[in-house]
Structure 1
Amino acid sequence: MAEGEKMRIDPAAMSKSELVDQLNQLQANAKTDLEQSEAQLLHELQVHQIELEMQNLELREAQQRLEEARDRYADLYDFAPIGYLTLEGAGRILEINLTGAAMLGDERANLIGKPFSARLARKDSQLFFLYLNRVFHSVGGSNIVTEVKIKRGDAVVDVHLESAPMKSTAGQDRTCRMVMTDISEQKRAKGTLKQTLLAQEALLNTIPAKVFFKDKDLRYTAVSQGCQEFFGRQVADILGKTNFDLIPRKQAEGLQRMELSVLLSGVPERNIEHMVTDSKGNQLFFTISLAPYFGPDGKTAGLVGVSVDVTPIREAEHLSQDLLRQNRLLTQRLFSLQESERRHLARELHDELGQWLTAIQAEAGAICSNSGAEREPEICAIAQAIGNSATEVQSVIRRILRRLRPALLDELGLTDSLQELAIQWRQHHPKIVCDMELDGNLGDLSEALNITLYRIVQEALTNIANHAQAHHVKVWLRRVPDVASDPEHLLLTVQDDGKGMYSNLPLKGLGMLGMRERVIASGGEFMSQSAPGKGVCIEIRLPLVAPMEERRKT
C-alpha cells in the first residue's frame, strides 16, 4: 500500500477521543519539508475535517442536553405540586400546567383562552379583578398575593394566588405569571384549630377550677378565669410570667419543685396539697394535679395543671374535728356523770335501804321470838316470811350494787374486779366457758381508765349472755410497752364462738354502741369482726393517757 493510502482515514467512523488522538498524531508527524506540499495540504485537510467532526459531536451533545433539560422543565412545569398559569390583561388563561388544570377540574385544552374568573366562586370574581389590577400596576414587579375560592364540580376549594407581571415590549399585550396553591387542608386545619382554641377558651372561662398551661420555662401560656380571679390580674398580665412574679417566693419555690419534677420525669402527679396566698393576702389550700403535654416531635413541650380550692373542705374538716372533740368531751362528761350517779345511787341503796332491810329483818326476828312458834304460829310464819323477803331483797340489792359500782374496783383495783366479774358471770351462766387473761401491770391505771375497761368487759359479757348463743368466751387484756413510734397502750380482746353477725352492718344495739362511744371518748380505737356462725371478736386499743389529759399536761 502506498504511503498516501496509509494516511487516508475515515473521521466519521471515529469517536471523539479517537479523533483527538489522531489529530495529535498527525500534528506530531507533520513534515516541515516545503517540498512535500501535497502531503502537507492533505494533512491540513484531514485536520480540518477532524475539527469539523469534533464540533459536530459537541453540537449533538449540546442538543441532547438541551432536549433533556427541556423534558425536565416540562415535567417540572406540568407535574409540580402547585399550579402554574400565564394570564393576559383581561384575565384569560394563556398557559397552564397539568396540576393547575387538575385543580380547576378540567382538561388543559378546555381552559386555554378561557377567563380564569369563570372558575371562581361568585363572590370572589370582583375580588379577583381588583387583585389582577394590583398585579399589573405593582412597582418593581413584586409578587402580589391573595386567597380566593374556586369551583370544582359541587365542591369549593380554597386556593392561594401569588402573581407577578411579565416584562412586555411595545405593542405586546400585558401578561402575568401566577402560582396557584391548594390551601383547603390548611384552611380546615386552621378552622379546627380555631374551634379547639375557642372551646379551650370557653372551658377556661367557665370551669370552676383553676386551669393553666405552662411552657418548658414554667411560664404561663394560658389560664382559666379562676386563675385571673386568684391572682387578681388580667390574662395579659399573667401570660409569660412565672410563679415568682405572682406569689410569695417561698410558695413559688415549693410549686416550682413539684412542676420541675413532673416536667423532667414525664410522670403526672395528682392531688398534691399546697398552701398559697392569693392577691388579697388570704392563705388558701389547694390540691394540684400536674401532667406534661407533648409537642409534634413527641418531646415534652410544657405542663398543664388543674388546681382546686379545698379551703372550705379543710375548714369543714377542722370544724368537724372540733365538733368531734367537743362530742367526745361531752361523752366523757356524760359517762363521768353516769358513774357519779351510779356511785351516789349505790351509796343510797347501801346506806339507806340496807339499814331499813336490816331493821326489817331484826323486827321480824323479834316478832317471831316474842310470839312463839307454838303460841302464835301464824304470826311467827308471817314474820319469818317477811325476814326471808328482806334477805332476798338484800341479795338483789347486792347484785345491783355490783353493777352500779363494784366495791373491789375502789378497794383492790382493776385486776381483782375483773376476775370477780368473771366469777360472778360464770355462776350465772354455767353452760358458757369463760377464760380471762390479764397481762402486764394493770395496777397503776387511772380511775377513769379502770372504769372504762371494767364497763366495756361487763357490757361485752352481758351482750354475749343475752345474744351470742356462745359456748366459749375469751377475755384478754394486756399492757403493750413502747415499740418504736408506737407509745405504750392497752389492748383488750373479747371473743366468742356464738352465732355471729354481719360485720358490715351498722351497730344497732345499745351495748355495742355504748362500748364504742366509751372507747372513742377515751381517745381509743374500737374494732369488731364477725360473720354469721363464726362469733364476734371485739378489739379495743386504749392509750394510757387520754388525749384531753395529754393536752392539759402540755
Structure 2
Amino acid sequence: RLAVLDIVPTHAMWHDFSMQKAMKIYHWLFLAQPKPLPEMLVGRAPVLLWTTNSEGVIDFVSGAALGDLGGREEIIGRRIHDLSPNPQMAETVLRRGLGGETLNFTMPIRDRLFEVSTGPWHNERGQTVGIIGVCIDVTRRQVAEQQLRAAVDNAPLMLWTTDRKGVLTFMQGAAMASVGYTPENTIGRAIDSMGDNEELGREIIRRCLAGETFAYEAMLRGRFFESSAAPLHGAGGEIAGIIGVSIDITDQRQAKRDLEAQREQMELIFRHSWDGLCIREMELGSYKRRLIMFNDMFAQMSGFGREELMARYGTDKLLHHHNSDLERRRQREMILGGKAIQGVDSWVRPDGKENYHEFTSVPIRRDDKHILIVDIRRDITDRLKTEEALKLAHRQLVTAREQERRRLARELHDSIGQGLVALQLSMRTVLSESSIPPGQALAQRVTEATQQCSRLVGEIRQLCHGLYPPTLESLGLVAALQQLVRSCGNSGPPLELQHDEQLSSRRFSPDVEITLFRIAQEALSNAIRHSQATRIGISLTLTPDGLLWLRITDDGKGFDVESGKHGLGMISMKERAHSVGGVLVICSEPGQSVVKAGVPVQVPTPAS
C-alpha cells in the first residue's frame, strides 16, 4: 500500500518533466510490481513509455500517446532506428543509454512533436540490459508557443526577462524595431543601463527581486513605454530573475494629447458661443430631465444664474416653454425617431419677459433608460420684432398707397369728372337753344365735342374704379368681387364666383378687404391674359381658425412656378398677403392653376 501511494502523485510528473525521478519509479514498477499495475497507470497517462533490449529493439510500450503513432503492434519488435526520423540520433541514444547516461531532447515523430527523456534500463541484478524512455507529446504546446511568439512579434510591445542581476536573458516583440533593439544588441545588458533613467532601472530590480510587481512609464530612445515587471520564479519557486512586458504608447499618448487639445478647443467654442448650448439627460418613459452642462449664453437666455438654473431645471419651479404640449410631443418624436429636430419656441423668463428661440435638438442614446440631448438655441426675439416692424411698415405703406389711390379717385371723380359732365350738359344746352341748323358744320362740331366729353367721363369713372373701387368701400368685399367678375367676364372666358352665404353682408377690416381684392384683380388679370383658359373660378371662404381664404382657379396651360420668370404682379400679391400676416400659395400644372391667399380676419399687431 505504501508503494502504491508513492506512485499516485507521479501523474504530476508529466507536467514537471522530472524525468530522473520518473526513471527510478518506473524501474521499481517493472522490477518489483506485477505488470497490470504499470499498465493501469501508464496506459492512461498523456505520455509514451517504452523500453528496449541492448540491440535497441522495443520490447515494451504503453501510454495514451500511443494512439497517435499507430498502435502497439506497429512498434513492438522494431528498432528505435527504424522509428526515428534521425537514425544516427537513435544510435547515439542507444549507445549513451547503455553507457549509463540520461539524455533529454525534442524529436518529431509522424507529424507530432515529442519531448524525449532516455536512460539505462537495469535488470534485477542491476545490470544494464537496454534503455528506457519517456516521450511527452508537446505538439499543442508548440502550436501555442508559436501563436504566442507570433502575437509578441506583431504586437507593439517587448517581452523580456532578466537574471537576478538584472541582465537581460530574453527580449522579443515588434516594439523593439521602433527603438532600434535586436536580441543581439540587448541580451546580456543590464536593464538599468538601457533606459534614460538608471535609477528607475535599479528600482525595478530591487522591488521585483523583493517579490513586488512594479508598473511604470518611461521614455526609451524618444518613445514612451508603459511597462509592468514582476518576479520570475524558478522550478523550485525561488525568484530567479524578472519578467516584464513593455508596451509602446507613444502614438496613444500623442492621440490623447490631440484629443485633449480638441476637447479644450470644443470647450472654448462651447463656452464663448453666441448660441445657447446645453447637454441634458432625459429619462425614457417619464421624460424627466436634468442638465449635464451648458454655456453662459444658455443661462443668460433662461434668465437664471448658473447654480439656480442647474437646481431648477426639469422642475415645476422653472417655467420655460409656453407651448409645453408641443415640447412633450417633440420629446416623443425625438425618442421614437432618433433624429435631430428643429423649430421655434418661446421661453418665459423669471422677469416675465417672453423670448423666442430657434432650436436644434440632437438625441444621443446613452443606455436603455436614458438619452442625451444636445440643444443649440439662438435668441430670435429681436429679429422677430424687426420682422414684425417691417411687416407693419409695409402694411402702413400699402394702406397709405390705397388711401392715396382713394383720394385720387375721389379727386378725379369729384373735380375733373364732374367738370366734364357739366361741360357736356352746357354744350348740349347751347346746341338745343341756339338757332344753328343741325346740318351745319358748327352744330356737327358741338355734337362731336359732347360725345368726346361722354367718352372722357366714362374713362375717368373706369380709372377711378381701378384706383379704388367704390363698391368695396360702400358694400364690402363680396359685392366688389361680384362687380370684378362681371367686368372681367366681358373680356375673357366665363367666370364664376362662389362664397359662403354669411359673407355676403359681412364686413372686414379695410386692410383685409383691399388686400384680397387686389390679389383677385391681379390673379384674374393674369389668368385672362396668359392662361388661355376656357373657364375661371373664384371662391371666398372663412375657416374656423379665423382665416379668410380667396381661391382663383383656371383650366389653362399652366406655368412653371419655380422658374422665377414672373412679373411684379406675383411679387405684389405675396407682399400684400404677408403685410397682413397672411400667406399666398401658388400651384400650377397643365390643365389647372391655383392661386390661394389666406389672411387672418384679425390682422396681428406686432409687439412693442
TM-score normalised to structure 2 length:
0.55
| Deviation of 1:327 (Å) | 1.8
**CA distance in 1 between partners of 2:265 and 2:348 (Å):** 27
Q: Verify the 8 A CA contact 1:426 1:433 in the aligned structure 2.
A: yes
8 Å CA contact 1:215–1:303 kept in 2: the answer is: yes
Which residue pairs with 1:41 in the alignment? none
Q: Is the 8 A contact 2:527 2:554 kept in 1?
A: no
**How many angstroms does 1:160 deviate by?**
1.7
Distance 1:348 1:529, change over 3 A: farther
Instruction: Establish whether residue 183 from structure 1 lines up as the match of residue 254 from structure 2.
Output: no
Q: Which residue of 1 aligns with 2:393?
A: 326
2:377 is aligned, of 293, 309, 319, to 309
Aligned equivalents of 1:242 and 1:450: distance in 2?
A: 49
Which has the larger Rg?
Answer: 1
Identify, as 1 or 2, the structure richer in helix.
Answer: 1
SS in 2 for 1:444: coil
Contact 2:485 2:497 in 1 (8 A): no
Equivalent in 183, 187, 191 of residue 116 of structure 1: 191
Q: CA RMSD in A?
A: 5.7
Distance 1:503 1:79 in 2: 72
Q: Indicate which of 451, 458, 483 corresponds to 1:398.
A: 458
CA distance in 1: counterparts of 2:556 and 2:473, whole angstroms: 33
Q: SS where residue 430 of structure 2 aligns? A: helix
Q: Tell me, yes or no, if the aligned pair for 2:290 and 2:314 is still in contact at 8 Å.
A: no
After superposition, the Cα gap between the structure-2 partners of 1:339 and 1:292, relative to the gap in structure 1 and judged at 3 Å, is same
Task: Write the distance in 2 (CA, Å) between the matches of 1:157 and 1:289.
Answer: 42
Q: 2:341 aligns with which of 265, 270, 275?
A: 270
Summarize the Cα distance change of 1:450–1:114 in structure 2 as closer, same or farther, 3 Å threshold: closer
- In structure 2, relative to structure 1, the CA distance for the partners of 1:258 and 1:389 (3 Å cut) is closer
Question: Is the Cα contact below 8 Å between 1:361 and 1:390 reproduced in 2?
Answer: yes
The CA distance in 1 between the partners of 2:320 and 2:522, in whole Å, is 56
The amino acid of 1:179's aligned partner reads I
User: Displacement of 1:538 after TM fit?
Assistant: 5.4
| Corresponding residue for residue 57 of structure 1 | none
Q: Does residue 413 of structure 2 align to residue 372 of structure 1?
A: no
Query: Given the alignment of the two structures, is residue 468 of structure 1 paired with residue 515 of structure 2, yes or no?
Result: no
The count of residues paired between Structure 1 and Structure 2 equals 450
- Deviation sequence 1:338-389 (CA, Å, 0-9, x none): 224313421224433211221022213333xx1336xxx6xx3223212222
**Cα shift at 1:180:** 0.8
Q: Please state whether the residue corresponding to 1:320 is helix, strand or coil.
A: helix
Distance 1:420 1:502 in 2: 30
Residue identity in the other structure for 1:391: Q
Tell me, yes or no, if structure 1 residue 547 matches structure 2 residue 606. no
Give the direction of change, closer, same or farther, for the CA distance of 1:163–1:509 in structure 2 (3 Å limit). closer
Which whole-Å CA distance do the structure 1 matches of 2:473 and 2:337 have between them?
Answer: 66
**Aligned-residue identity in percent:** 16
1:503 equivalent to 2:568? Answer no
Question: What secondary structure sits across from 1:13 in the alignment?
Answer: coil
Matched letter for residue 34 of structure 2:
A
What is the match of residue 171 of structure 1? none
One-letter amino acid of the counterpart of residue 317, structure 1:
L
Please give the alpha-carbon distance, in whole angstroms, between the structure 2 residues aligned to 1:252 and 1:451. Answer: 42
2:278 and 2:291 in contact (8 A); partners too: yes
Deviation at 1:473, TM superposition (A): 4.9
What is the correspondence of 1:481-496 to structure 2 with a 5 Å cutoff?
A: 482=543, 485-487=544-546, 489-493=548-552, 495=554
Cα distance in 2 for partners of 1:259, 1:504 equals 32
Give the conservation status (yes or no) of the 8 Å contact 1:478–1:492: yes
Secondary structure, in 3 states, of the residue corresponding to 2:341? strand
| Match in the other structure for 1:290 | 362
Q: Name stretches of at least 5 consecutive residues in structure 2 with no aligned partner.
A: 1-30, 41-132, 153-157, 284-288
Partner residue in 2 for 1:13? 34
State whether residues 276 and 296 of structure 2, in contact with CA within 8 Å, keep that contact through their aligned partners in structure 1.
yes
1:83 shift after superposition: 4.8
Residues 1:244 and 2:311 are matched in the alignment:
yes
> Residue 274 of structure 1 contacts residue 288 of structure 1 at CA under 8 Å; is this kept in 2?
no
Letter of the structure 2 residue corresponding to residue 493 of structure 1: I
Q: Any conservation in 1 of the 2:482–2:497 contact (CA below 8 Å)?
A: no
Distance in 2 (CA, whole Å) between partners of 1:450 and 1:100 is: 88
Task: Flag structure 1 segments of 5+ consecutive residues without an equivalent.
Answer: 1-9, 20-62, 168-173
CA deviation string 1:64-88 (max 9, x = no partner):
9xx99xx99xx99x97989564444
Distance 2:341 2:471 in 1: 58
